[in-house]
Amino acid sequence: MKKVIIDSDFGIDDAVALFLAIDSEDLDVLGITTIYGNVDVEQATMNGHFLLEFLNASNIPIYRGAGTPLVRERYVSDETHGKYGLGNIVIDKKYEDWHTKTAPSYMIEMAQKYPDEITLITLGPLTNVANALTKNPDAMSQIKEIISMGGGVFKGNMSPVAEFNIWCDPEAAKIVYDSQIPVKMVGLNVTHEVVLTPNDSTFIKLIGGEKGALLSEMLEYYTTFYWNQEQIMGCVMHDPLAVAVASDQSIIDFMHAHVDISLSEVTRGECIVDVLHAWSKPNNSFVGMSVCPETFFDHFYKTLFKDKQR
Ligand code: BDR
Ligand code: CA
Protein backbone atom coordinates (compact mmCIF):
# COMPACT_ATOMS: atom_id res chain seq x y z
CA MET A 1 0.00 0.00 0.00
CA LYS A 2 1.15 3.49 -0.80
CA LYS A 3 1.75 5.63 2.28
CA VAL A 4 0.01 8.97 1.82
CA ILE A 5 -0.52 12.19 3.73
CA ILE A 6 -3.44 14.31 2.59
CA ASP A 7 -3.17 18.08 2.93
CA SER A 8 -6.59 19.63 2.55
CA ASP A 9 -8.68 22.77 2.90
CA PHE A 10 -11.79 20.58 3.26
CA GLY A 11 -14.33 21.89 0.87
CA ILE A 12 -16.83 19.61 -0.86
CA ASP A 13 -14.60 17.93 -3.42
CA ASP A 14 -11.90 17.56 -0.76
CA ALA A 15 -14.45 15.63 1.30
CA VAL A 16 -15.25 13.35 -1.64
CA ALA A 17 -11.50 12.90 -2.16
CA LEU A 18 -11.06 11.89 1.48
CA PHE A 19 -13.85 9.29 1.17
CA LEU A 20 -12.08 7.89 -1.88
CA ALA A 21 -8.69 7.78 -0.14
CA ILE A 22 -9.99 6.08 3.00
CA ASP A 23 -11.92 3.49 0.98
CA SER A 24 -9.06 2.81 -1.41
CA GLU A 25 -7.34 -0.55 -1.07
CA ASP A 26 -4.10 0.86 -2.50
CA LEU A 27 -3.66 3.79 -0.12
CA ASP A 28 -2.59 3.84 3.50
CA VAL A 29 -3.62 7.27 4.81
CA LEU A 30 -1.10 7.92 7.57
CA GLY A 31 -2.37 11.35 8.49
CA ILE A 32 -4.23 14.46 7.45
CA THR A 33 -2.91 18.00 7.50
CA THR A 34 -5.14 21.04 7.15
CA ILE A 35 -4.78 24.38 5.46
CA TYR A 36 -6.84 27.54 4.88
CA GLY A 37 -8.40 27.85 1.44
CA ASN A 38 -12.02 26.94 0.84
CA VAL A 39 -12.60 27.77 4.54
CA ASP A 40 -10.32 28.95 7.33
CA VAL A 41 -7.91 26.43 8.80
CA GLU A 42 -9.93 25.98 12.02
CA GLN A 43 -13.04 25.05 10.04
CA ALA A 44 -11.00 22.85 7.70
CA THR A 45 -9.71 21.00 10.77
CA MET A 46 -13.24 20.58 12.18
CA ASN A 47 -14.46 19.32 8.81
CA GLY A 48 -11.63 16.80 8.73
CA HIS A 49 -12.57 15.49 12.18
CA PHE A 50 -16.25 15.33 11.22
CA LEU A 51 -15.55 13.38 8.03
CA LEU A 52 -13.11 10.94 9.65
CA GLU A 53 -15.60 10.28 12.42
CA PHE A 54 -18.31 9.64 9.84
CA LEU A 55 -15.99 7.18 8.08
CA ASN A 56 -15.07 5.41 11.35
CA ALA A 57 -11.50 6.50 10.76
CA SER A 58 -10.88 8.79 13.74
CA ASN A 59 -7.69 6.84 14.44
CA ILE A 60 -6.08 8.80 11.60
CA PRO A 61 -4.42 11.89 13.12
CA ILE A 62 -5.11 15.43 11.92
CA TYR A 63 -2.50 18.19 12.19
CA ARG A 64 -3.45 21.79 11.74
CA GLY A 65 -1.42 23.89 9.31
CA ALA A 66 -1.17 27.46 8.09
CA GLY A 67 -4.01 29.95 8.47
CA THR A 68 -2.67 32.41 5.90
CA PRO A 69 -0.50 32.44 2.78
CA LEU A 70 3.24 33.20 3.06
CA VAL A 71 3.00 36.85 1.98
CA ARG A 72 -0.42 37.59 0.48
CA GLU A 73 -3.74 38.38 2.15
CA ARG A 74 -6.00 35.41 2.61
CA TYR A 75 -8.80 35.40 0.03
CA VAL A 76 -12.21 34.55 1.46
CA SER A 77 -15.08 33.21 -0.62
CA ASP A 78 -18.07 31.40 0.85
CA GLU A 79 -19.97 30.69 -2.36
CA THR A 80 -18.08 27.73 -3.79
CA HIS A 81 -18.35 25.28 -0.90
CA GLY A 82 -20.80 26.99 1.45
CA LYS A 83 -20.10 28.93 4.63
CA TYR A 84 -18.65 25.95 6.51
CA GLY A 85 -17.12 24.22 3.50
CA LEU A 86 -19.38 21.19 3.15
CA GLY A 87 -22.37 22.70 1.37
CA ASN A 88 -25.34 23.08 3.68
CA ILE A 89 -23.99 20.69 6.30
CA VAL A 90 -23.58 22.40 9.65
CA ILE A 91 -21.19 20.77 12.10
CA ASP A 92 -22.40 21.64 15.58
CA LYS A 93 -20.12 19.28 17.49
CA LYS A 94 -16.85 20.81 18.73
CA TYR A 95 -13.95 18.48 18.09
CA GLU A 96 -10.89 18.76 20.28
CA ASP A 97 -8.05 19.86 18.07
CA TRP A 98 -5.49 18.42 20.48
CA HIS A 99 -2.35 17.94 18.39
CA THR A 100 0.28 20.52 19.21
CA LYS A 101 2.48 19.34 16.34
CA THR A 102 1.95 21.48 13.25
CA ALA A 103 1.30 20.21 9.74
CA PRO A 104 4.85 21.00 8.50
CA SER A 105 6.43 19.28 11.52
CA TYR A 106 4.32 16.19 10.87
CA MET A 107 5.34 16.12 7.18
CA ILE A 108 9.00 16.38 8.18
CA GLU A 109 8.66 13.66 10.80
CA MET A 110 7.01 11.26 8.34
CA ALA A 111 9.58 12.01 5.61
CA GLN A 112 12.32 11.05 8.09
CA LYS A 113 10.51 8.00 9.38
CA TYR A 114 9.67 6.63 5.91
CA PRO A 115 12.36 7.91 3.51
CA ASP A 116 11.28 7.82 -0.16
CA GLU A 117 7.98 6.22 0.75
CA ILE A 118 5.64 9.13 1.39
CA THR A 119 3.30 10.54 -1.24
CA LEU A 120 1.92 13.93 -0.29
CA ILE A 121 -1.47 14.61 -1.85
CA THR A 122 -2.23 18.32 -1.72
CA LEU A 123 -5.81 19.49 -2.25
CA GLY A 124 -5.41 23.13 -1.23
CA PRO A 125 -2.86 25.96 -1.29
CA LEU A 126 0.75 24.79 -0.90
CA THR A 127 1.69 26.85 2.17
CA ASN A 128 2.18 23.88 4.53
CA VAL A 129 4.50 22.08 2.13
CA ALA A 130 6.47 25.28 1.50
CA ASN A 131 6.83 25.84 5.26
CA ALA A 132 8.05 22.26 5.72
CA LEU A 133 10.56 22.70 2.89
CA THR A 134 11.88 25.91 4.39
CA LYS A 135 12.12 24.38 7.85
CA ASN A 136 13.90 21.16 6.90
CA PRO A 137 14.77 20.82 3.20
CA ASP A 138 16.96 17.75 3.80
CA ALA A 139 14.19 15.78 5.44
CA MET A 140 11.66 16.90 2.87
CA SER A 141 13.92 15.78 0.01
CA GLN A 142 12.98 12.27 1.15
CA ILE A 143 9.35 12.77 0.19
CA LYS A 144 8.76 10.39 -2.73
CA GLU A 145 6.37 12.59 -4.66
CA ILE A 146 3.73 15.28 -4.40
CA ILE A 147 0.45 14.89 -6.23
CA SER A 148 -0.97 18.37 -6.32
CA MET A 149 -4.43 19.39 -7.38
CA GLY A 150 -3.68 22.86 -8.62
CA GLY A 151 -2.78 24.87 -11.67
CA GLY A 152 -3.76 23.95 -15.18
CA VAL A 153 -2.42 24.08 -18.69
CA PHE A 154 -3.80 27.21 -20.34
CA LYS A 155 -6.78 27.25 -17.98
CA GLY A 156 -7.71 29.23 -14.86
CA ASN A 157 -10.61 29.76 -12.48
CA MET A 158 -9.40 32.78 -10.47
CA SER A 159 -8.14 34.60 -13.55
CA PRO A 160 -7.82 33.58 -17.19
CA VAL A 161 -4.55 31.85 -16.32
CA ALA A 162 -4.55 30.95 -12.61
CA GLU A 163 -6.21 28.23 -10.58
CA PHE A 164 -7.45 28.83 -6.99
CA ASN A 165 -5.01 26.65 -4.98
CA ILE A 166 -1.96 28.09 -6.70
CA TRP A 167 -3.36 31.63 -6.94
CA CYS A 168 -3.95 31.71 -3.15
CA ASP A 169 -0.25 31.34 -2.39
CA PRO A 170 1.93 31.54 -5.50
CA GLU A 171 5.09 32.12 -3.43
CA ALA A 172 4.51 28.80 -1.67
CA ALA A 173 3.79 27.04 -4.96
CA LYS A 174 7.05 28.36 -6.37
CA ILE A 175 9.01 26.96 -3.41
CA VAL A 176 7.34 23.57 -3.93
CA TYR A 177 7.88 23.43 -7.70
CA ASP A 178 11.49 24.57 -7.29
CA SER A 179 12.17 22.00 -4.57
CA GLN A 180 13.32 18.98 -6.63
CA ILE A 181 10.60 16.79 -5.16
CA PRO A 182 8.80 15.31 -8.17
CA VAL A 183 5.45 17.08 -8.45
CA LYS A 184 2.54 15.55 -10.34
CA MET A 185 0.33 18.43 -11.41
CA VAL A 186 -3.37 17.64 -11.59
CA GLY A 187 -4.66 20.88 -13.04
CA LEU A 188 -7.91 22.31 -14.35
CA ASN A 189 -7.29 21.11 -17.91
CA VAL A 190 -7.70 17.52 -16.68
CA THR A 191 -10.08 17.98 -13.72
CA HIS A 192 -12.67 19.71 -15.91
CA GLU A 193 -12.94 16.49 -17.92
CA VAL A 194 -14.26 14.58 -14.90
CA VAL A 195 -17.69 15.99 -14.20
CA LEU A 196 -20.04 14.21 -11.84
CA THR A 197 -23.53 14.68 -13.28
CA PRO A 198 -26.81 15.32 -11.41
CA ASN A 199 -27.72 11.75 -12.46
CA ASP A 200 -24.65 10.48 -10.63
CA SER A 201 -25.65 12.42 -7.48
CA THR A 202 -29.13 10.90 -7.57
CA PHE A 203 -27.71 7.43 -8.17
CA ILE A 204 -25.28 7.83 -5.27
CA LYS A 205 -28.18 8.82 -3.01
CA LEU A 206 -30.23 5.82 -4.17
CA ILE A 207 -27.59 3.14 -3.76
CA GLY A 208 -25.14 4.58 -1.26
CA GLY A 209 -26.91 4.24 2.10
CA GLU A 210 -25.74 6.71 4.75
CA LYS A 211 -22.54 7.44 2.89
CA GLY A 212 -24.46 8.12 -0.31
CA ALA A 213 -26.86 10.42 1.52
CA LEU A 214 -24.06 12.58 2.92
CA LEU A 215 -22.15 12.62 -0.36
CA SER A 216 -25.17 13.53 -2.45
CA GLU A 217 -26.17 16.32 -0.07
CA MET A 218 -22.77 17.94 -0.61
CA LEU A 219 -22.69 17.15 -4.32
CA GLU A 220 -26.09 18.75 -4.93
CA TYR A 221 -24.81 22.00 -3.40
CA TYR A 222 -21.66 21.82 -5.55
CA THR A 223 -23.71 21.10 -8.67
CA THR A 224 -25.80 24.22 -8.10
CA PHE A 225 -22.62 26.26 -7.68
CA TYR A 226 -21.17 24.97 -10.94
CA TRP A 227 -24.34 25.71 -12.84
CA ASN A 228 -24.61 29.23 -11.46
CA GLN A 229 -20.93 29.98 -11.89
CA GLU A 230 -19.88 28.22 -15.07
CA GLN A 231 -23.06 26.71 -16.58
CA ILE A 232 -21.61 23.24 -16.17
CA MET A 233 -24.28 20.52 -15.74
CA GLY A 234 -22.64 18.75 -12.83
CA CYS A 235 -19.71 19.28 -10.52
CA VAL A 236 -16.04 19.03 -11.29
CA MET A 237 -14.11 16.32 -9.41
CA HIS A 238 -10.88 18.28 -8.92
CA ASP A 239 -9.57 16.81 -5.67
CA PRO A 240 -10.94 13.26 -6.12
CA LEU A 241 -8.97 13.04 -9.38
CA ALA A 242 -5.70 13.74 -7.51
CA VAL A 243 -6.50 10.97 -5.02
CA ALA A 244 -7.57 8.55 -7.76
CA VAL A 245 -4.29 9.09 -9.57
CA ALA A 246 -2.40 8.10 -6.41
CA SER A 247 -4.13 4.70 -6.75
CA ASP A 248 -4.07 4.36 -10.51
CA GLN A 249 -1.62 6.46 -12.44
CA SER A 250 -3.05 5.31 -15.77
CA ILE A 251 -6.07 7.61 -15.32
CA ILE A 252 -3.97 10.58 -16.44
CA ASP A 253 -1.30 10.97 -19.12
CA PHE A 254 1.54 13.04 -17.73
CA MET A 255 4.19 15.02 -19.54
CA HIS A 256 7.59 15.53 -17.95
CA ALA A 257 8.20 19.26 -18.18
CA HIS A 258 9.51 22.34 -16.48
CA VAL A 259 6.91 24.38 -14.61
CA ASP A 260 7.40 27.88 -13.24
CA ILE A 261 4.93 29.83 -11.13
CA SER A 262 4.17 33.44 -11.94
CA LEU A 263 4.50 35.88 -9.06
CA SER A 264 3.70 38.96 -11.09
CA GLU A 265 0.34 40.66 -10.55
CA VAL A 266 -1.39 40.24 -13.91
CA THR A 267 -0.58 36.54 -14.19
CA ARG A 268 -0.42 35.83 -10.43
CA GLY A 269 -0.35 32.08 -9.78
CA GLU A 270 -0.15 31.00 -13.40
CA CYS A 271 1.58 27.64 -13.80
CA ILE A 272 3.73 28.22 -16.82
CA VAL A 273 4.28 24.81 -18.35
CA ASP A 274 7.13 24.68 -20.81
CA VAL A 275 5.39 22.22 -23.13
CA LEU A 276 7.82 22.94 -25.95
CA HIS A 277 10.88 22.69 -23.68
CA ALA A 278 11.74 26.13 -24.97
CA TRP A 279 13.58 27.14 -21.79
CA SER A 280 15.78 24.03 -21.77
CA LYS A 281 15.48 23.98 -17.99
CA PRO A 282 15.47 20.70 -16.07
CA ASN A 283 12.05 19.09 -15.88
CA ASN A 284 10.68 19.51 -12.36
CA SER A 285 7.15 18.18 -12.81
CA PHE A 286 4.89 15.64 -14.37
CA VAL A 287 2.06 17.66 -15.82
CA GLY A 288 -1.35 16.09 -16.34
CA MET A 289 -2.19 16.61 -20.01
CA SER A 290 -5.13 14.30 -20.66
CA VAL A 291 -7.41 12.08 -18.63
CA CYS A 292 -9.67 9.09 -19.12
CA PRO A 293 -12.94 9.97 -17.34
CA GLU A 294 -14.30 6.42 -17.76
CA THR A 295 -11.33 4.94 -15.88
CA PHE A 296 -11.74 7.58 -13.19
CA PHE A 297 -15.46 6.89 -12.66
CA ASP A 298 -14.92 3.14 -12.77
CA HIS A 299 -12.38 3.50 -9.96
CA PHE A 300 -14.64 5.99 -8.14
CA TYR A 301 -17.70 3.74 -8.01
CA LYS A 302 -15.79 0.51 -7.40
CA THR A 303 -13.90 2.09 -4.51
CA LEU A 304 -16.68 4.03 -2.81
CA PHE A 305 -19.42 1.46 -3.18
CA LYS A 306 -17.54 -1.84 -3.23
CA ASP A 307 -19.81 -3.13 -0.44
CA LYS A 308 -22.77 -2.66 -2.79
CA GLN A 309 -21.26 -4.84 -5.52
CA ARG A 310 -21.50 -8.57 -6.04
C1 BDR B 1 -9.60 23.70 -6.20
O2 BDR B 1 -10.15 24.78 -5.45
C3 BDR B 1 -11.06 24.31 -4.50
O4 BDR B 1 -12.23 25.05 -4.55
C5 BDR B 1 -11.29 22.84 -4.80
O6 BDR B 1 -11.46 22.14 -3.59
C7 BDR B 1 -10.04 22.43 -5.52
O8 BDR B 1 -9.04 22.01 -4.61
C9 BDR B 1 -10.05 23.84 -7.64
O10 BDR B 1 -9.60 25.04 -8.17
CA1 CA C 1 -9.55 21.71 -2.21
The number of the ligand nearest the C-alpha atom of 168 reads 1
Indicate if ligand 1 lies below 6 Å from the C-beta of 163. yes
Q: Give ipTM to 2 decimals.
A: 0.99
Q: Give the mean pLDDT of 66-84.
A: 90
Q: Which of 49, 81, 192, 238 is catalytic?
A: 238
Q: State which ligand 1 atom lies nearest to the alpha carbon of 80.
A: 4
pLDDT of residue 310: 58
pLDDT confidence bin for 20, thresholds 50/70/90: very high
pTM: predicted TM-score of the whole model, two decimal places: 0.96
**Percentage of the residues of the chain whose pLDDT score is greater than 90:** 91
39 C-alpha to ligand 2 centroid (Å): 10
Indicate if ligand 1 lies below 6 Å from the C-beta of 150. no
Residues near ion ligand 2 (CB < 5 Å) are 9, 14, 123-124, 239
pLDDT of residue 93: 81
309 C-alpha to ligand 1 centroid (Å): 30
39 C-alpha to ligand 1 centroid (Å): 11
Whether the pLDDT of residue 90 is over 80: the answer is yes
The number of the ligand nearest the C-alpha atom of 6 reads 2
Summarize pLDDT for 284-306 with one digit per residue, the tens: 999 999 999 999 999 999 999 98
pLDDT confidence bin for 309, thresholds 50/70/90: low
Q: State which ligand 1 atom lies nearest to the alpha carbon of 163.
A: 10
Pocket test of ligand 1: the residue of 6, 7, 8, 9 to mutate, having most ligand atoms within 8 Å of its CB, is 9
| DSSP string covering the chain | -EEEEEEE---HHHHHHHHHHHH-SSEEEEEEEE-SSSS-HHHHHHHHHHHHHHTT-TTS-EEE--SS-SSSPPP---TTT-TTSSTT----SPPP----S-HHHHHHHHHHHSTTTEEEEE-S-SHHHHHHHHH-HHHHTT--EEEEE---SS--SSSSSB-HHHHH-HHHHHHHHTSSS-EEEE-HHHHTT-EE-HHHHHHHHHHSHHHHHHHHHHHHHHHHHHHHHH--SSEE-HHHHHHHHHH-GGGEEEEEE-EEE--SSTTTTBEEE-TT-TT-PPP-EEEEEEE-HHHHHHHHHHHHTGGG--
